Amino acid sequence: MSGGRPDWRALGLRLRLSHPADPPSLGLALLSLFLVAPPQGWLAWGREASRYFPHVDFARLRLADLIRIPLQLLWLALVRLPEAGPRALRSPSGSGRLARAAGRFGAAAAAGRAACRGWLQRQFPAWFDPERLRRAVEGAAEHQWWQNPLLRGGCYALAALLGAVCVTTPFDEASQAVFTIVLLLIALWVRRIPGPVSTLILMVFSIAVSTRYIWWRTTSTINDDSWPNLVSGLILLGAELYAWLVLLLGFLQSSWMLKRKATPLPADTSLWPTVDVFIPIYSEPLRVLKPTVFAAMTMDWPRDKLRVHILDDGDSEEIRRFAAEAGAGYITRARHDHAKAGNINHALGLTGGEFVAIFDCDHIPTRSFLQVTMGGFLRDAKLALVQTPHHFFSADPFERNLDTHHKIPNENELFYGRVQDGNDLWNATFFCGSCAVLRRAPLLEVGGIAVETVTEDAHTSLKLHRLGYRSSYLNTIQAAGLATESLSAHVGQRIRWARGMAQIFRSDNPLFGKGLTLGQRFCYLNAMMHFLYGIPRLVFLTAPLAFLLFHAYTIYAPALGLVLYVVPHMVFAVMSNSRMHGQFRRSFWGEIYETVLAWYITLPTTVALLFPGLGKFNVTAKGGVVEENYVDWDISKPYLALLGLNLLGVGFGAYRLWQGPANEMGTVVVNLLWVGYNTLLLSVALAVARELRQVRVAHRVNAALPVTLHLPDGKAYRCHTLDYSEGGMALRLPAGLSLRRYRDEDLTVSLRRGQRSFAFPCRMVFARDGRLSVRFSDLSMEQERELVQCTFARADAWLEADARAHEGSPLHGAGDVWRMGSSSLRQLLAGALLPASLRGARWFSILRGLGSLLPRQPQLIRD
């Protein structure tokens, strides 16, 4: 302190995070100091704290820094920084009263929360014991009173009446606020209770709040004083009605996970049935096919009751020779009509096994696949289909290009982790084309695999269910394969799925026709409705522009009304879906996937609805490589166009804040927040289109398998694998072991399968830091088969993949969108994603200027 004034330089230097696990506290402290300190003060400490403002030169402040500094402060206040232990700016001796107050503010707030929570726990201990609450809730749900149909029906009728009153009763703004707050507090308390019953309660809350929002939208917010207002309002309302319907169907479909267990087989193997294994292939390389064939031929099943057939629709002489050498059946056909479905149907006429197991050529089954899936067929004569999950050990374009592989659940995990388990409750498990077993007789009864649509698998299961056959889903990974290699291939695959489901919706609608239960109709309907999200998602990405650019009111309501109705609708929907699906998908990631695909599925689904006979099957390429980093500009064009429109909306919104009427400021802010969120989603879509280099032909699988390393001098060392592939593996060496002198010599690694040990010759790729990488050399076909048995086909190969952690808080998903979206947008504006030919354009300097305003990662240092 000097002259009674704070020493702002010392204050800035002494700013520390109050707790390393709560970095936003730093942002709040900096923001507080920024607001209370005089300009000369925050400039003084700001120069010393430049690590938190890497894009600001405090020695030469510029006019644009008036935007950069507040944005960075807000970013620090809201976003969790990467954890790397305690962090701080280096600080010399010296302190001030305000510095101590700022440093203690976060601790005092945390202590207050802890004291309040402690008092509540002492006063109401039962309310804070999750397990006790779970037993109480599930005990009430399972009480014998509910066996009385009259009581159960009366309760349902009363609940429906209360729901109707809750949804349709008009509230003033204060009453709506009280209603929302009370319901939210109850929901936050219920959210603490583990178990499926509390999940159902959250679903009911979400349905009530969302249905109340839709009622308010349809009765109170449509402005018909002009055609632009009416048309834009009705378009947005239509998209919201679609989203609301899908929300309700999704809740019904996934309301309860059946978690079916495998049915044991009889001990007498003579009672086990015969099984034909079909592996259809078209143009995929032999190296992709070989592990699948080797694994299928060594499944634990009587040799005389297992026949493996390669169904080659590409008439490859190389694959014909391989089938002969491996001892597998080889089936081809003269006419290649109806793609994969026709290929399988042709093979059905040439084989005679009681059951058919189908694997795509890249899906490698474990040795236990048939023993896990076949028991139910022997117990239930009406069971026609058993489906298992599709698991992928390679990264899909989202995982590779966003660096989320093994960190965030991929796009498929929600369907195979939660949705299919929910379908199983309603006897509506979908056939997914691979990793499944079907009973031959019912399959022939429906005419074989369906050929009327390009999603032949789902259509086949629909036909089986119409005839009254049952299906089951075993949520245990028993096979694994390759994901799509590029975004363009991924989009092409999803286009086929979307077109096929729209074709089924149009030509064999599950709402009509005989044979399906109500639950089955709703499950199939939701699957088909899901793929119609193209137009609604495009509406959500452009709706705020109607007001910002053209001053058209899509929702004719005051800003406070939007907050009181829209925000609860979104909060409860996100909270409920996070509780249901958080183990299999992070919050807000569904919107990322839809944003990437919406433009491309809109036209195919629309055409399929109008002309269901059009469209053809396209094979998804697998096993490819990406030679170098590049941006797929062809597929990025829609994202760039929509991003440009949203950035234009930001500019118009800023102008309306500056020059617009005062009574519209709230509406402008709401639309700016909406367009800002759309900008982040579109920026993430651009990041996905930036294909990263992937040159591994054989994808590695992380696993810790016991292995013995044999050196040329006869010494042997016990190690564990770090990862493995068909081409090699990485080992963790014992401490102190150096292998430099063996660089050009032959090594051997041996793996165990049961009581047997198998040796594989290899050569060193490198050895450093206790890690050895080897490449297999000159393996015979028998050794290749043994290697697959010891790695990919192990019964426990994918047990760790079955263990998934819940996301915890939906804020983690929101943080993903913010972090990846802002990073992608910054790179785009800085020119990192643009071709070199465009970086010299005049307008590029404007983009760079805008990019310089965005927040940056602080350059913190470790203690």
Q: Provide the pLDDT for residue 630.
A: 59
Residue 145, pLDDT > 80, answer no
Q: Give the mean pLDDT of 537-553.
A: 93
Q: Give the mean pLDDT of 162-180.
A: 87
User: What backbone phi and psi angles, to 5 degrees, belong to 384?
Assistant: -110, -15
CB of 499 within 8 A of CB of 509? no
Q: Provide the pLDDT for residue 133.
A: 63
Residue 92, pLDDT > 60, answer no
Q: Give the mean pLDDT of 624-638.
A: 69
Q: Provide the pLDDT for residue 517.
A: 95
Residue 91, pLDDT > 60, answer no
Give alpha helix (H) positions in 582-632.
Answer: 589-610
Q: Which of the 8 DSSP states describes residue 515?
A: S
Residue 24, pLDDT > 50, answer no
| Percentages of the chain per state (helix, strand, coil), in multiples of 5 | 55, 10, 35
Q: Check residues 435 and 852 and name the one with the higher pLDDT.
A: 435
**Strand-pair category, 861-862 with 771-776:** unpaired
Q: Give the mean pLDDT of 758-783.
A: 91
Map tokens 């053809």 to a residue.
Answer: 616
- Sheet strands (E) in 706-791: 706-710, 716-724, 728-732, 746-753, 756-768, 771-776
Q: Provide the pLDDT for residue 673.
A: 92
> Looking at 67-76, 290-299, 511-520, which range is the least confident one?
67-76
Residue 21, pLDDT > 50, answer no
Residue 132, pLDDT > 60, answer yes
Give alpha helix (H) positions in 128-279.
Answer: 130-141, 149-168, 173-190, 196-220, 227-253
What's the rounded Cα separation, in Å, for the pair 375 and 209?
A: 44
Q: Provide the pLDDT for residue 76.
A: 62
What's the rounded Cα separation, in Å, for the pair 678 and 682?
A: 6
> Looking at 127-141, 401-415, 587-601, 693-707, which range is the least confident one?
127-141
Most confident listed range (198-202, 283-287, 308-312, 491-495): 308-312
Q: Provide the pLDDT for residue 214.
A: 95
Residue 463, pLDDT > 70, answer yes
Q: Which of the 8 DSSP states describes residue 16?
A: B
What's the rounded Cα separation, in Å, for the pair 114 and 108?
A: 10
Q: Give the mean pLDDT of 848-855.
A: 61
Amino acid, res. 305: K
Q: Can you give 833-851 as a three-state secondary structure string?
A: CCCHHHCCCHHHHHHHHHH
CA distances from 720 to 729, 732, 771, 798 (A): 10, 6, 10, 17
What's the rounded Cα separation, in Å, for the pair 309 and 332?
A: 10
Residue 230, pLDDT > 50, answer yes
Active site residues: 313, 457
Residue 836, pLDDT > 70, answer no
Percent of the residues in the chain that have a pLDDT greater than 90, as a whole number: 47
Mean pLDDT (the chain, rounded) = 82
Q: Check residues 537 and 698 and name the one with the higher pLDDT.
A: 537
**Closest residue by Cα to residue 101 from 195, 172, 180, 11:** 11
CB of 540 within 8 A of CB of 185? no
In the numeric block, which tokens belong to residue 396?
Answer: 């899909």
Handedness of CA 846, 850, 851, 852 (dihedral sign): positive
CB of 255 within 8 A of CB of 286? no
Measured in Å, how far apart are the chain's first and last C-alpha atoms? 26
Percent of the residues in the chain that have a pLDDT greater than 70, as a whole number: 77
Q: Check residues 690 and 776 and name the one with the higher pLDDT.
A: 776
Beta bridge partners of 771: 732, 768
Most confident listed range (45-54, 212-221, 632-641, 732-741): 212-221
Q: Under DSSP, is residue 256 helix (H, G, I), strand (E, B) or coil?
A: coil
* pLDDT bracket for residue 527 (50, 70, 90): very high
* pLDDT bracket for residue 94 (50, 70, 90): very low
Residue 458, pLDDT > 50, answer yes
> Looking at 206-215, 274-283, 824-833, which range is the least confident one?
824-833
Q: Report helix angle 559-581 to 227-253, nearest 10.
A: 20
Q: Provide the pLDDT for residue 83.
A: 43
Residue 3, pLDDT > 70, answer no
Q: Give the mean pLDDT of 802-828.
A: 81
Q: Provide the pLDDT for residue 740.
A: 78
Residue 601 exposed, middle or buried by CB count within 10 Å (0-12, 13-18, 19+): buried
Q: Check residues 407 and 440 and name the one with the higher pLDDT.
A: 440
CA distances from 524 to 8, 147, 389, 556, 602 (A): 65, 29, 18, 35, 20
